[in-house]
Amino acid sequence: MSTDADETGPIDPEALVSVVIPAYNACSTIAQTLDSLLAQTHRNLDVVVVDDGSTDGTAEILEAYAGRVRVIRQANAGIAVARNVSVQAARGDYIALLDADDLCRPDRIAMQLRYLQSHPDILLCSSDFGAFDETGPLEPASYCGIYYTRCSPQRGGVRARYPHEETFTLLAHESARQNGKTDIKVYRGEVYDELVRGNFIHPPTVMFRRDALQLAGMFDTEIRIVCEWEWFVRVARVGPVAHLDLPLLDYRRSPTQISSSPRTALDSLSVAKKIYARESKPGQRGSRQSLRHLGALSLSAADVLAELQPEVAFGLLTSSVFVYHTFKGQTLRTLFKIMVPSGLLNLLRRVRS
């Protein structure tokens, strides 16, 4: 279904938008991130950085932005606590998430604000994003389908995750318009059932109404890393969300970022268990899909930990097979990695390369 966006209703181009950034040991990237915000076409910003116990000079970098950025310093408590502290301090009726190493494109805030203001039923909107690393751009046009398996072309792209499609008209001064576009696609609607089975909303691209916090609650501080997915599920439970099919952010890839940590795989599994325990009932439609999802996450965690913690990995692997009934080619590859000594694995890799 494709419809034209309803852009009627009051629009305040000067509305205050709070941009909230958790920062931990981000001295090498935080200045670039803040500079990308200060170059936004929407100027009325309330930028809040929570320095989550950094020890690397992040605080000194932030001092150079005094008067333009509000800084809250706290002992290291993790991303969920930092998210909560920042959104509680936010002054705007619209709140944008951002990480301390990513870069906003100039129209990011203006376009998301305009979309939310013209669609009062939408609680939250995200966007596509590009990606880069220390060597340069990885994929400037669309990285969402690469980063999120459920948004890959083989699975129908981002469009397959949302029930409705519409167009959103670009303004003459918006940078995407200069590339010959007059409008962009927006996917929107109730995505709760889809989101329960795995995240596809990229946290640093998100802007939401303050109302979402009253309706869905705060971020769960028991979750160490992937707290955003669990929160997105709660938001989607109470209202529709949207995705602007245009890259409005450049996502920094780095082997040291938290999403690259083996802990993330375990955290994703524990969050999925928490979501299903809360949201699912015996015999509910989708319970088989829930088992498949938990099996896939258990297998993924086993694969990540196979060489680091083989005993833990073996327990996860057996759970994926005997508890969640998941068996695929990766099962045997992961078992091989668990059973074969790391020295021999490295030798085999060298021979193969």
**So what's the pLDDT on residue 280?**
58
User: Within a 13 Å sphere around the CA of 100, how many CA atoms are in the beta-carbon half?
Assistant: 27
- Computed over every residue of the chain, the mean pLDDT equals 90
- Which residue did the predictor score with more confidence, 343 or 159? 159
Q: Span 104-114, mean pLDDT?
A: 97
pLDDT of residue 346: 78
What average pLDDT does range 65-78 have in this prediction?
96
Split into its structural domains, the chain has a count of 2
181 shares a domain with 136: yes
Does the pLDDT of residue 348 top 80, yes or no? no
Q: Are residues 174 and 301 in the same domain?
A: no
Q: Go through the chain and tell me how many residues it has.
A: 353
Q: What is the pLDDT of residue 2?
A: 40
**Secondary structure of residue 238 in the 3-state scheme:** helix
Please report whether residue 275 resides in a domain.
Answer: no
Closest CA to 94 of 68, 65, 123: 123
pLDDT above 50: residue 4: no
306 and 249, same domain (yes or no): no
* Distance separating alpha carbons of residues 248 and 106, to the nearest angstrom: 8
Predicted confidence at residue 176, as pLDDT, reads 83
- Residue 267 included in any domain: no
Helices (H), the chain: 30-38, 58-63, 79-89, 108-118, 144-147, 192-196, 211-216, 227-238, 262-279, 287-305, 310-318, 329-339, 342-352
What is the per-residue pLDDT across 214-263, written as a single tens digit (0 to 9) for each? 999 999 999 988 899 999 999 999 999 999 999 999 999 987 666 556 77
Report the pLDDT value the prediction gives residue 260, as an integer from 0 to 100. Answer: 54
Q: What is the model's pLDDT at position 297? A: 84
What is the per-residue pLDDT for 259? Answer: 58
Convert 45-69 to b/e letters by CB count within 10 Å (16 or more is b). Answer: bbbbbbbbbbeeebeebbeebeeeb
Give one word for 67, left, alpha or beta, with left for phi > 0 and alpha for psi -120 to 50: left
Task: Quote the pLDDT of residue 81.
Answer: 97
Contact at 8 Å (CB) between 316 and 301?
yes
Helix (H) or strand (E) holding 206: none
List the domain range (segments joined by +) for residue 141. Answer: 2-258
Question: How high is the pLDDT of residue 109?
Answer: 97
| The last residue of a domain, from among 206, 224, 258 | 258
Question: How many CA atoms does the CB half-sphere of 121 hold within 13 Å?
Answer: 9
Q: What is the mean pLDDT of residues 325-338?
A: 89
Does some domain include residue 274?
no
194 belongs to a structural domain: yes
Q: Is the pLDDT of residue 281 over 60?
A: no
Neighbours of 91 (CB within 10 A): 12
